[in-house]
């Protein structure tokens, strides 16, 4: 299983606000920043949020990130059908000489 824990699925109706959680430990989220990636069906992942809460240019402000202690969250407000995708959190883990660790991914369904 993945070092970072995400719920396998989430859902919402258009216009709703949904949140996706990412739980880690002191060696990863607790001491390093969190990034979030969006993977639309059949495509490569795309950077969605970096440094816990920063949006790259071009990412709508409907997407926001936060971090507290050893957990992080991705929030999507004003849910749209095109937001249906897999979402992954990632962070550096300081254990075992260090490595990037990902969450298992959350499949977001827009009902």
Which residues of the shown chain bind other proteins in the complex (CB under 8 A)? Answer: 2, 32-33, 35, 37, 44-47, 50-51, 56, 88, 90-92, 94, 96-105
Do the strands 9-12 and 106-110 form a parallel or antiparallel pair, or are they unpaired? parallel
Instruction: Work out how close the CB of 9 gets to other proteins at its nearest, in angstroms, rounded to a whole number.
Output: 13
Task: Report the distance separating Cα 68 and Cα 93, nearest Å.
Answer: 16
Instruction: Name which of 63 and 88 has its Cβ closer to other proteins.
Output: 88
Instruction: Work out how close the CB of 97 gets to other proteins at its nearest, in angstroms, rounded to a whole number.
Output: 7
């Amino acid at each position: 299983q993945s070092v970072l824990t995400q719920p396998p699925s989430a859902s919402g109706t258009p216009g709703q606000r949904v949140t996706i959680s990412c739980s880690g430990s002191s060696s990863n989220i607790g001491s390093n920043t969190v990034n979030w990636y969006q993977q639309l069906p059949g495509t490569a992942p795309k950077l969605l949020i970096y440094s816990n809460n920063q949006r790259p240019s071009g990412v709508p402000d409907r997407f926001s990130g936060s971090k507290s202690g050893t957990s992080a969250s991705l929030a999507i407000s004003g849910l749209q059908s095109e937001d249906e995708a897999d979402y992954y959190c990632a962070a550096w883990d300081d254990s075992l000489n260090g490595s990037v660790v990902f969450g298992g991914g959350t499949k977001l369904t827009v009902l």
